[in-house]
């Protein structure tokens, strides 16, 4: 790391006594670079063993890396915390303006501890932290409005991010999210509830500064190389034009699009919710994260009439992505685009994770159809595939919680199914609701094996393509590939680069970018570091009670044909044994 | 020749122009940028672009008590750093807010209309007008 690089600064904020301090942590940044690598160290330091995820001892860690603010597509912030949803490692990434703003404010990481006496938000700017009263914002309906009020009240200049929660976070729903810049989210594993437990409505960070590089000319040259690759690459073009929903059609064609709670992996009406269809019908705007020329964020413009008054319309701008069209579209058996968009808008307004919320609704629908639950539990709602008017009411009930059933749904599918049955089709892995890929065994092994039980841990769905071609791939080979990929991704998330750019940021490109930021690491050193960070995460998980043996595999994944045919349970279990052996040998070696 | 906003509605808010401006100032980060892209009250409402319009009769130059801002051929001004006392009158004079400030040197940051930002705009939101001045006259 370069001596003058402000990356080394960690801002520690204590909400209990409204204090803050800035510490030089070049010890951590010098060794782990930033992002995930530093965040897991800070989490391990700050979070006492066995801490209540919704108690004062659970820290919130935001970390950025050396490439943020310097290179295009280095646009992500890593959040770490103990997850109230799984009771274990919580890790979630978001873009928007968050990463560049934290870097421009002069920090490599922000750690938030304690509990505020009353609702508050904090504003981080110019070496200061301001503790603002947010009593009037608590309970406010839309996170968009919260953003507007804060924007109007914060005179801070420079690049700014406003990370905030909705009512779901205030009510401690363990799959509530933190929203940044209206359309990006620390979506998974319940950071919103951790904010809520601290009475923290929002975190505003702003700044504007210079960053040091080793050799300005070489930096400019390397920048142009990455920028040109990003703007000319066909992969990036794909995400730019249709966005992530471009995946709806190919996944459906290959029989990998989870449909009606994975009763099927082929959605006969997928054409109606494809990225191309939605773009034609209602794409209203495309947006980008700070410092990303790709602009993959797709916003639909939904024009709706008011039913009670003629010639009164509102136009809502609603973000949509592949994962949302899966969880709130095909998984709910719905092809009514305005209905899907209204549901997404509703979930967004409450500040829930759209993926978990969709999976919860899908489980509830199947349980209702099967008679495990009745209108007594649903408070009179007749849940049915594709009925979005009912789904909107159900989401409101998850937040309002009028009875035990909705209180159970508000805890996720693992909990709800343990109370009401239907575990075999409760689609969650390691306590986290399933992502939208039923591509084959590798995808599911990836969810089970990943440190955050996310498809992004290792992107293992792409390994399923290889399995389809090479039937001779053994469980051992799949396990090895998944672990290798997850370890390499620890490097990318320590820099912190958007995964969409992972092909642009090849090992050589990463090594040169790091060299210009004062990190001299060759390929073996990087690979070792990736392995170490991965092991550190599992060390934390094991410390907090994680066990590979306790992972529940929903039976449904073995009953519905996937993109690679029927999934053999034994294949998955053998691969998981290999994963366990490899990871635990490293965890035990470092203890 | 001057920098112009071709279509602000196409702006995706990537801010690559701001980073480009910083690099042409031989720096990294955002401190030296003389172009700004900000959300217009939430990203769904689009973006406000602050770009020097290369005025023919620039208020910033008229406001400078030290004559440090001299007229540039084709519109706008050039900064004579050695004359600038760092009073900031030019910043106040520009109602667009297109005179930025260099906190390290305590002097204004003035757009040179070099076009490097436009080269880094992937969506042609900004571009170089080679024929027109701010008042619309052909030159």
CATH at residue B59: 3.30.70.20
Element (H, E) at A322: helix A322-327
pLDDT grade for B135, boundaries at 50, 70 and 90: low
Say how far apart CA A112 and CA A121 lie, in whole Å.
Answer: 12
Segment A254-271 mean pLDDT: 98
Q: Rounded to the nearest 10 degrees, how much is the dihedral formed by the CA atoms of B79, B85, B89, B91?
A: 50
Establish if B134 belongs to a structural domain.
no
Same domain, yes or no: B26 and B69? no
Segment A415-438 mean pLDDT: 98
Q: List, in sequence order, every residue forming a beta bridge with A523; answer none if it has no partner.
A: none
Cα→Cα distances B74→A216, B71, B94, B109, Å: 30, 9, 18, 18
Q: List, in sequence order, every residue forming a beta bridge with A178; answer none if it has no partner.
A: A186
CB contact under 8 A, B14 and A291: yes
Which long-range contacts does A236-241 make (Cβ < 8 Å, 24+ apart)?
A236/A293, A236/A294, A236/A500, A236/A501, A236/A504, A239/A294, A239/A296, A239/A500, A240/A286, A240/A294, A240/A295, A240/A296, A241/A279
Same domain, yes or no: A187 and A285? no
* The pLDDT value given to residue B45: 83
Host domain of residue B10: 1-51+111-127
Establish if A480 belongs to a structural domain.
yes
Tell me the angle at which helices A507-516 and A523-543 cross, rounded to the nearest 10 degrees.
Answer: 90
> Per residue in A163-179, pLDDT tens?
999 999 999 999 999 99
Establish if A515 belongs to a structural domain.
no
A299 to chain B, any CB pair closer than 8 A? The answer is yes
Same domain, yes or no: A50 and A114? yes
Nearest to B28 among A211, A292, A295 (CB): A211
> Per residue in A515-549, pLDDT tens?
999 999 999 999 999 999 999 999 999 999 999 99
The domain that holds A127 is classified in CATH as 3.60.9.10
Query: Domain tally for chain B?
Result: 2
* The pLDDT value given to residue B136: 53
Segment A329-354 mean pLDDT: 97
Cβ neighbours of A293 in B, within 8 Å? 14, 16, 120, 122
CB contact under 8 A, A287 and B13: yes
CA A332 to the chain's CA centroid: 21
Q: What's the token pair of residue A140?
A: 């406010």
Question: What is the least distance, in Å, from the CA of B138 to any CA of chain A?
Answer: 33
> Per residue in A470-505, pLDDT tens?
778 999 999 999 999 999 999 999 999 999 999 999
Say how far apart CA A326 and CA A322 lie, in whole Å.
Answer: 6
Query: Domain tally for chain A?
Result: 3
Same domain, yes or no: B3 and B46? yes
Establish if B136 belongs to a structural domain.
no
A2 to chain B, any CB pair closer than 8 A? The answer is no
Q: What's the token pair of residue A580?
A: 């366990």
Host domain of residue A263: 245-409
Answer yes or no: are the C-beta atoms of A134 and A120 closer than 8 Å: yes
Q: Is the pLDDT of residue B71 over 90?
A: yes
Same domain, yes or no: A405 and A443? no
- Nearest by Cα to A387 from A333, A427, A322, A436: A333
Q: What's the token pair of residue A566?
A: 């029927």
Cβ neighbours of B120 in A, within 8 Å? 227, 293
Say how far apart CA B103 and CA B106 lie, in whole Å.
Answer: 5
Give the chain B residue nearest A214 (alpha carbons): B28
Answer yes or no: are the C-beta atoms of A329 and A336 closer than 8 Å: no
- Nearest by Cα to A464 from A569, A570, A563, A571: A563
Same domain, yes or no: A120 and A41? yes
> Per residue in A364-410, pLDDT tens?
999 999 999 999 999 999 999 999 999 999 999 999 999 999 999 99
Say how far apart CA B119 and CA A223 lie, in whole Å.
Answer: 14
The domain that holds A357 is classified in CATH as 1.10.569.10
Establish if A234 belongs to a structural domain.
no
Same domain, yes or no: B43 and B79? no
Same domain, yes or no: B103 and B116? no
Establish if B11 belongs to a structural domain.
yes
A178 to chain B, any CB pair closer than 8 A? The answer is no
To test the contact with chain B by mutation, choose from A154, A209, A284, A498 the residue with the greatest count of B C-beta atoms within 10 A, namely A209
A293 to chain B, any CB pair closer than 8 A? The answer is yes
Same domain, yes or no: A296 and A372? yes
Cβ neighbours of B123 in A, within 8 Å? 295
A286 to chain B, any CB pair closer than 8 A? The answer is yes
Establish if B138 belongs to a structural domain.
no
Q: Burial of A231 by CB count in 10 Å (0-12 exposed, 13-18 middle, 19+ buried)?
A: middle
> Per residue in A285-299, pLDDT tens?
999 999 999 999 999
Same domain, yes or no: A460 and A321? no
Reported ipTM: the value is 0.95
Establish if A79 belongs to a structural domain.
yes
Give this prediction's pTM.
0.97
Q: In the listed set A387, A409, A431, which residue is the last one of a domain according to the structure?
A: A409
A219 to chain B, any CB pair closer than 8 A? The answer is yes
Say how far apart CA A340 and CA A300 lie, in whole Å.
Answer: 11
Residue identified by tokens 């590979």 is: A548
Same domain, yes or no: A256 and A152? no
Q: For residue B77, give the 3-state DSSP assignment.
A: strand
CB contact under 8 A, B15 and A219: no
Residues of B with CB under 8 A from a CB of A: 12-16, 19, 22-23, 26-32, 39, 41-44, 46, 104, 120, 122-123
Residue identified by tokens 């050589």 is: A508
> CA angle, A465 as apex, A319 and A334 as ends, to 5°?
35
If you average pLDDT over every residue of chain A, what do you get? 96
HEC secondary structure over A548-562:
HHHCCCCCHHHHCCE
CB contact under 8 A, B41 and A292: no
Same domain, yes or no: A258 and A165? no
Q: In the listed set A187, A207, A227, which residue is the last one of a domain according to the structure?
A: A207
Establish if A417 belongs to a structural domain.
no
Answer yes or no: are the C-beta atoms of B41 and A144 closer than 8 Å: no
A212 to chain B, any CB pair closer than 8 A? The answer is yes
Q: Are strands A313-320 and A297-305 parallel, antiparallel or unpaired?
A: antiparallel
Same domain, yes or no: A367 and A278? yes
Same domain, yes or no: A321 and A467? no
Q: Rounded to the nearest 10 degrees, how much is the dihedral formed by the CA atoms of A51, A418, A255, A548?
A: 50
Q: In the listed set A409, A424, A451, which residue is the last one of a domain according to the structure?
A: A409
Establish if B139 belongs to a structural domain.
no
Establish if A426 belongs to a structural domain.
no
Establish if A225 belongs to a structural domain.
no
Same domain, yes or no: A258 and A324? yes
To test the contact with chain B by mutation, choose from A208, A220, A224, A349 the residue with the greatest count of B C-beta atoms within 10 A, namely A208
CB contact under 8 A, B13 and A288: yes
Residues 6+ apart with CB under 8 A from B103: B31
Same domain, yes or no: A381 and A529? no
Q: Are strands B107-109 and A200-207 parallel, antiparallel or unpaired?
A: unpaired
Establish if A421 belongs to a structural domain.
no
Establish if B61 belongs to a structural domain.
yes
pLDDT grade for B137, boundaries at 50, 70 and 90: low
Question: What is the least distance, in Å, from the CA of B113 to any CA of chain A?
Answer: 19
Establish if B132 belongs to a structural domain.
no
Question: What is the least distance, in Å, from the CA of B55 to any CA of chain A?
Answer: 25
């Amino acid at each position: 790391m370069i001596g003058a690089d402000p990356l080394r600064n960690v801002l520690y904020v204590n909400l209990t006594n409204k204090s803050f301090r800035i510490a030089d942590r070049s010890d951590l940044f010098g060794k782990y670079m930033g992002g995930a690598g530093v965040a897991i160290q800070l989490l391990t330091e700050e979070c006492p063993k066995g801490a209540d995820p919704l108690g004062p001892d659970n820290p919130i860690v935001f970390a950025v890396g050396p490439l943020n603010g310097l290179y295009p597509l280095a646009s992500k912030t890593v959040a770490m915390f103990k997850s109230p949803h799984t009771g274990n490692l919580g890790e979630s990434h978001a873009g928007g303006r968050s990463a560049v703003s934290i870097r421009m404010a002069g920090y490599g990481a922000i750690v938030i501890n304690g509990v505020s006496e009353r609702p508050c938000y904090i504003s981080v700017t110019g070496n200061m932290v301001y503790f603002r009263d947010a009593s009037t914002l608590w309970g406010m309906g839309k996170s968009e409005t919260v953003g507007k009020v804060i924007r109007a009240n914060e005179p801070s200049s420079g690049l700014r991010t406003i990370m905030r929660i909705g009512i779901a976070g205030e009510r401690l729903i363990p799959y509530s999210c933190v929203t940044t810049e209206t359309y990006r989210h620390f979506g998974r594993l319940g950071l919103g509830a951790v904010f809520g437990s601290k009475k923290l409505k929002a975190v505003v960070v702003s700044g504007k500064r210079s960053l040091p590089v080793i050799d300005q000319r070489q930096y400019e040259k390397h920048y142009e190389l990455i920028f040109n690759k990003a703007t000319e690459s066909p992969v990036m073009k794909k995400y730019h034009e249709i966005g992530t929903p471009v995946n709806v059609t190919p996944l459906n064609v290959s029989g990998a699009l989870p449909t009606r709670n994975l009763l099927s992996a082929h959605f006969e009406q997928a054409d109606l919710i494809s990225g191309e269809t939605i773009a034609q019908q209602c794409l209203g705007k495309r947006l980008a994260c700070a410092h990303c020329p790709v602009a993959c964020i797709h916003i639909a413009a939904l024009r709706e009439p008011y039913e009670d008054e003629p010639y009164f319309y509102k136009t809502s701008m609603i973000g949509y992505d592949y994962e949302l069209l899966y969880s709130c579209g095909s998984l709910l058996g719905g092809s009514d685009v305005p209905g899907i968009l209204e549901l997404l808008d509703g979930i967004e307004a409450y500040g829930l994770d759209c993926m978990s919320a969709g999976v919860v609704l899908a489980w509830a629908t199947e349980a209702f159809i099967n008679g495990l639950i009745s209108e007594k539990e649903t408070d009179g709602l007749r849940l049915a595939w594709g009925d979005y008017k009912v789904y909107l009411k159900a989401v409101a009930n998850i937040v309002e919680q009028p009875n035990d059933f909705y209180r159970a749904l508000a805890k996720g599918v693992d909990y709800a199914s343990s109370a009401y049955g239907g575990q075999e089709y409760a689609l969650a892995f390691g306590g986290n609701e399933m992502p939208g890929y039923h591509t084959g065994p590798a995808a599911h092994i990836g969810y089970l094996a990943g440190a955050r039980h996310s498809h992004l841990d290792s992107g293992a769905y792409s390994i399923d393509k290889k399995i389809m071609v090479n039937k001779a791939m053994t469980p051992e080979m799949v396990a090895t590939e998944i672990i290798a990929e997850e370890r390499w991704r620890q490097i990318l998330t320590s820099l912190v680069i958007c995964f969409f750019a992972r092909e642009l940021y090849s090992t050589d490109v990463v090594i040169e970018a790091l060299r210009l930021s004062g990190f001299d690491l060759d390929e073996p050193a990087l690979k070792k570091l990736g392995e170490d960070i991965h092991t550190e995460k599992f060390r934390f998980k094991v410390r907090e009670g994680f066990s590979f043996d306790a992972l529940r595999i929903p039976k449904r994944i073995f009953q519905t044909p996937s993109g690679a045919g029927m999934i053999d349970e034994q294949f998955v279990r053998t691969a998981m044994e290999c994963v366990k052996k490899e990871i635990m040998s490293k965890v035990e070696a470092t203890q | 020749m001057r920098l112009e906003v071709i279509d602000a509605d196409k702006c995706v808010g990537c801010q690559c122009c701001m980073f480009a401006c910083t690099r042409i100032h031989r720096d990294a980060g955002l401190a030296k940028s003389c172009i700004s892209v900000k959300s217009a009250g939430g990203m769904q409402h689009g973006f406000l672009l602050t770009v020097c319009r290369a005025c023919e009769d620039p208020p910033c130059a008229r406001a400078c008590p030290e004559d440090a801002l001299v007229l540039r051929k084709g519109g706008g001004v050039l900064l004579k750093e050695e004359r600038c006392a760092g009073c900031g009158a030019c910043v106040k004079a520009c109602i667009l807010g297109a005179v930025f400030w260099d906190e390290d040197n305590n002097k204004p940051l003035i757009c040179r209309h070099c076009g490097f930002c436009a080269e880094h705009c992937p969506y042609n939101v900004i571009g170089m007008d080679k024929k027109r001045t701010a008042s619309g006259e052909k030159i």
